[in-house]
Amino acid sequence: MQFLTYKRMPYIKAYMHVLAIMPLVYLGLAIYLDDLGGDPVQAVIHFLGKGAMNLLLLTLAITPIVQRFKAGLLVSTRRLLGLYCFFYACLHLIAFAWLDLGLDWTLLLVETVKRPYIFLGMMAFVILLLLAVTSPNYIRRKMAKNWQKLHNFVYLAALLTPLHYYLSVKSGWIEPIIYASLVVFLLLKRRKRLLIF
């Protein structure tokens, strides 16, 4: 891609920041205008969860795009997208704990153990947390080869999230199946690495 140059990358990243924040602006306006339907709590929780999944899919899509279009500079955007994915996952968890459970941490623990979809979501969240904490370059250098081994768990998180979504919705399985299909497609693009992993 000829438009990808070192000089343009700061502008591309700034544009990605704007695109990542815009859904939150939309959500804020929808809350303010009371335009979230009959169950606004679940609407907020699902909106943030789908935001995290979308960003996770975009993060996984970077490598195939780089390989297909020889756009090596795009690799530098992967961490940015991954951190926004974690940010949305944090908001998703906070919204659930606050709006659904009233910040009752004991109840959250009980629900995590009791309900498979929450347990799977928590597993994915812990993985994203570990990846976010170890994303700075100086930690990457200290971890050496172990860094890549840890960050390969993103593939497990990618499999857990659509399953978490599927089990969490009381009706309507089409969207979770679409997400799961996209995850499988993107993971098949990495089948050699997954065999090593």
Q: Where are the domains of the chain?
A: 9-196
Whole-prediction pTM value? Answer: 0.93
Compute mean pLDDT per 10 residues along the chain, 197 residues long, and list them.
Answer: 75 94 97 92 95 96 87 87 97 96 94 95 97 94 92 94 91 88 89 54
Instruction: Kindly report the three-state secondary structure assignment for every residue of the chain.
Output: CCCCCCCCHHHHHHHHHHHHHHHHHHHHHHHHCCCCCCCHHHHHHHHHHHHHHHHHHHHHHHHHHHHHHCCHHHHHHHHHHHHHHHHHHHHHHHHHHHHHCCCCHHHHHHHHHHCHHHHHHHHHHHHHHHHHHCCCHHHHHHHCHHHHHHHCCHHHHHHHHHHHHHHHCCCCCHHHHHHHHHHHHHHHCCHHHHHHC
For 26-40, the pLDDT digits (tens) are 999 999 999 998 899
